[in-house]
Amino acid sequence: MRVCLFGLFLVFALPLFAQDALPPARAFGPDTTRTGVFTGEGTTPVGLACTAAAAEMDCSGFLASGLDGTRLDVTVRVPFASAPHPLVVNLHGYGGSKNSSSAWDDKLIARGYAVLRYSARGFGKSWGQVNLADVNVELADLRSLIGQVVDDPQGLGLHLDASAVAVLGASYGGGQSWLAALTPAFDSPAGTKVRIRTIVPVVPWTDLLGALRPNGSETNSIDVPGSYKLSFLEGLFLGGLRRDPERPYLNYPDYLFLWDAYILLTEPNNSPPLGAQIVDGLAGYRSIWWRPEFFRAVVDNAQNNRPQLPVFELQGFTDDLFPLPEALRMYRALKALDPNYPIGEYLGDIGHPRAANKSGEVDYALERVFEWLDFHLKGLGAASPSCHDPAPQLRCDVLAALTRPPSVPFDPADVLRVDRMEDLATAFAKEEFAAPSVLTYDPANFGGVFFDPFIFSACEQLQPGCPAPPPDFIPGDVAVYTVAASRVAGDAGLPPAQPFLIAGQPTVALRATTAAYRVQLDARLYQVKPAGQRTLVTRGTFALDSGNPLLPLGARDVRIPMFGNLVEIQPDETLQLEITNVDSPYIAPSRVPSVTLVSDVKFGVPLRPPWR
């Protein structure tokens, strides 16, 4: 097992930058990886073989990672167009392979791009074992393969432009796309200068620990352990296990089985050895959010008036695995460090369950990706006059699509464009509920412990027809607060008899009093029709933990940021807020019994009037 120490602290010397938008300084322990085993050496020969089609040349085979010689299954598709060809690396989702979502590649080839696809180690036909998008393993593979195809040592006639590379990926590939920003310039094995000109993370994580174990803090997922999204986590874990007689070994290293068992059998914690190892592994070595060298590079570029690495990110309002905060934390941090940072966002009903992934919206979003690539790799398109990075930029705005019911087709007219994330809402309502409620949770009641490990069955990122599992029975009490939509509109200064949009992240503030040492508070917001039909708008969670089973929490002020959405509310509807200790099968409940007095509930809602 190869380990490396990561002892860098996040320190900024510029007092004008907002520190509360940045991750706290932290030193991590050693990385946990396993490399150099099941490499395929001596079994699978290295090299690509090419075939010609009507409009392209396809070269497939295996290349050896420069990290440890692991044979990785690779395809390079090259268009019959003027060389050299800009290169787009398209990284697949978890448990997928180089053949996943190949329709994207066809469109890229038609636009004149060469496309590099490969199965990440441990997946598809690639050898090696999965190290979960580790910065020292899978990201080393990425750079190694880009360098090899750029060099073209076999003389296949690939003619790739090493100075015009983009890294695009969805889900598992999206997390790696963000991590590719750590090393946007590097040398190939033959010494060719490679430059990644842009990254396009699609429904990615930015803090893998915060995505899988949310605690209610968008900047610090570590110090108060949240609860795991067991349905998603186990669905990913089981779905990624490979069953291939041609690869007769476990594609997961031992440490991933240990991590999974520890998560299933213990209350979330950061205790050494395994609790700390999981935190260090997921946050320190697999999340762009916790990599201080990236933020230092942003600061250095801003101070010296150098261009930044452009980012176009696609995130889902209704993605319960990697929700809106995965985009917001990086957006806010980058804008705090450099107000002119060239980052564009597309937010919509896309991603993992419960996202609808309507074909019209997926196509619309991908067209925006293609426009972005055309500009940054081929110099096509007009630069935006509102972007002020030292280099010309296509866009630095936010596109947000209205979430409509699954039965309503996507309409491009439902896409709102604003200059900044903060401009989504133009009004704000605050509702107060004075009556206290008592939440009683007894984990001995087996309702609420359900999770659905088959949540990803027959699903892949951005695929329709993958609904979230139905809610589990909730043991204990649920505090319910209902307010008329017309009242919310009036309190925000909007016409009470007109529809409005919930635009962004609602927040729940409350006073929690308990003798327990650990409490999980979950909030859900529903849109309720006059006939009683309820639709989940958004949710959030917050963890309280004294750190000592003998130390009661007592009275605490709590602020729960909900994940957010862009939804139209009619004046005859109501909004229903639920506060509970259980939101399974979405997130696992605590194992700690508790009785919590909830009082002084305040509900804040960002709004805007409809634009059409």
Encode pLDDT of 237-249 as tens digits. 999 999 999 999 9
User: Does residue 148 lie within any of the structural domains?
Assistant: yes
Domain that holds residue 591: 427-608
Instruction: For residues 471 and 562, state if they share a domain.
Output: yes
Instruction: For residues 331 and 435, state if they share a domain.
Output: no
pTM: 0.94
Instruction: For residues 439 and 570, state if they share a domain.
Output: yes
Instruction: For residues 175 and 315, state if they share a domain.
Output: yes
User: Does residue 532 lie within any of the structural domains?
Assistant: yes
pLDDT of residue 609: 97
Q: What is the CATH number of the domain that holds 447?
A: 2.60.120.260
Instruction: For residues 79 and 171, state if they share a domain.
Output: yes
User: Does residue 259 lie within any of the structural domains?
Assistant: no
pLDDT of residue 559: 97
User: Does residue 393 lie within any of the structural domains?
Assistant: no
User: Does residue 383 lie within any of the structural domains?
Assistant: no
Sheet holding 479-484, edge to edge: 479-484, 574-580, 518-528, 534-545
How many domains are there within the chain? 2
Instruction: For residues 90 and 203, state if they share a domain.
Output: yes
Instruction: For residues 69 and 199, state if they share a domain.
Output: yes
Contacts 24+ apart (CB under 8 A), 492-496: 492/427, 492/428, 492/429, 492/605, 492/607, 493/427, 494/427, 494/607, 494/609, 495/609, 496/571
CA angle, 131 as apex, 129 and 132 as ends, to 5°?
130
Instruction: For residues 323 and 449, state if they share a domain.
Output: no
- Cα–Cα nearest to 591, from 301, 338, 310, 225: 225
Listed residues 308, 339, 355: the one ending a domain: 355
User: Does residue 397 lie within any of the structural domains?
Assistant: no
pLDDT of residue 446: 56
Listed residues 331, 355, 379: the one ending a domain: 355
Instruction: For residues 497 and 587, state if they share a domain.
Output: yes
Backbone angles phi and psi of 599, in degrees to 5: -140, 170
Instruction: For residues 484 and 346, state if they share a domain.
Output: no
pLDDT of residue 5: 34
Spatial separation of the C-alpha atoms in residues 403 and 17, rounded to whole Å: 34
User: Does residue 563 lie within any of the structural domains?
Assistant: yes
- With a cut of 70, list the residues of the chain below it in pLDDT: 1-19, 445-476
User: Does residue 41 lie within any of the structural domains?
Assistant: no
Instruction: For residues 476 and 567, state if they share a domain.
Output: yes
Spatial separation of the C-alpha atoms in residues 290 and 182, rounded to whole Å: 11
The 10s digit of each residue's pLDDT in 142-198 is 999 999 999 999 999 999 999 999 999 999 999 999 999 999 999 999 999 999 999
* Residue bearing tokens 């979230």: 468
Q: What is the CATH number of the domain that holds 78?
A: 3.40.50.1820
Listed residues 323, 355, 387: the one ending a domain: 355
Tokens of 488: 């919310």
Instruction: For residues 342 and 439, state if they share a domain.
Output: no
